[in-house]
Amino acid sequence: MKGCIDVLFPYRNDLRKTLIPYLSTLDETFWFKTSEFYPNNVAWIISHLSSSEDYWVNEIGLKNPCILNLHDDCSPKEILDSYIQIRNYTDDILHTLDESQLNEIVEVPKFSDGWTPPSVPTLNWLFHHVYSHEAYHIGQISVIAHLSGLPKPLF
């Protein structure tokens, strides 16, 4: 089955349907606001999600170089644009894959913290990993908003 994205990953962008409009309305200072209780800020989380998706899909899954160029001096608009860009790119790739390709094993590097995949690392597993990683970090944005006394995204 070619382009099985909507069967295997139909809800992959649901969090983004709430998050992107929320982020679009945030003042730039909130993007970089930190708390004594929480080490990361919104800019770091969205940059991390974008760069991670780029890394996992391109370098690990496809053996291609990463496409994003995020750095510490990026503006919120550049970060948000990269977040949108990499998902559009990933979705385009998923539309070209067939089911048999998703079962191909991917080589996962050894990480310094000792993390290893909990399941056989197939391309299918890789995409699930990207989406669950995103959900984990998006929850942190609600925590940051709460700690900062700002309205939280309505997930």
CA 5 – CA 16 distance, rounded (Å): 16
Q: How does pLDDT run across 114-148, given as a tens digit for each residue?
A: 999 999 999 999 999 999 999 999 999 999 998 88
End-to-end Cα distance, the chain: 32
CA 16 – CA 90 distance, rounded (Å): 14
| Assigned token pair, 40 | 């990361």
Q: pTM of the prediction? A: 0.93
With the C-alpha atoms ordered 41, 116, 100, 62, is the resulting torsion angle positive or negative?
positive
Q: Is 49 helix (H, G, I), strand (E, B) or coil?
A: helix
CA distances (Å), origin 135, targets 11, 111, 115, 141, 144: 11, 21, 19, 10, 15
CA 152 – CA 92 distance, rounded (Å): 30
Q: How does pLDDT run across 26-82, given as a tens digit for each residue?
A: 999 999 998 888 889 999 999 999 999 999 999 999 999 999 999 999 999 999 999
Q: What is residue 34's predicted lDDT score, i.e. its pLDDT? A: 86
Q: At what angle do helices 76-96 and 123-148 cross, to 10 degrees?
A: 160
